[in-house]
Chain A
Amino acid sequence: GAVVSQHPSWVICKSGTSVKIECRSLDFQATTMFWYRQFPKQSLMLMATSNEGSKATYEQGVEKDKFLINHASLTLSTLTVTSAHPEDSSFYICSALAETYEQYFGPGTRLTVT
Chain B
Amino acid sequence: SQQGEEDPQALSIQEGENATMNCSYKTSINNLQWYRQNSGRGLVHLILIRSNEREKHSGRLRVTLDTSKKSSSLLITASRAADTASYFCATVLDNQGGKLIFGQGTELSVKP
Contacts and interface: CB of A to CB of B under 8 A. Distances in A.
Interface in A57-86: 60
B101 A107 contact: no
A111 interface: no
Nearest to A41: B107
Contact of B100 (A46, A106, A108, A110): A46
A103 interface: yes
Contacts of B40: 91, 108, 110
A93 B102 CA distance: 13
Contact of B98 (A41, A45, A93, A103): A103
B42 A105 contact: yes
Nearest to B44: A105
B43 A32 contact: no
A107 B97 contact: no
Interface residues on B, range: 20 to 34
A93 B41 CA distance: 9
Nearest to B42: A107
Tell which of B99, B100, B107 has the most Cβ of chain A within 10 Å. B99
Interface residues of A, number: 24
Contacts of B101: 46
A32 B97 contact: yes
A111 to B, nearest CB: 13
A42 B100 CA distance: 16
A22 to B, nearest CB: 15
A19 interface: no
B99 A49 contact: yes
Interface string A36-61: 10000111111001000000000010
A103 B90 CA distance: 11
The list of the 6 closest CB pairs from A to B, nearest first, reads A107-B42, A105-B43, A44-B102, A43-B102, A43-B105, A97-B98
Interface of B: 1-2, 35, 40-45, 48, 88, 97-105, 107
8 contacts: A32-B98, A36-B102, A43-B103, A43-B104, A46-B100, A49-B99, A104-B45, A108-B42
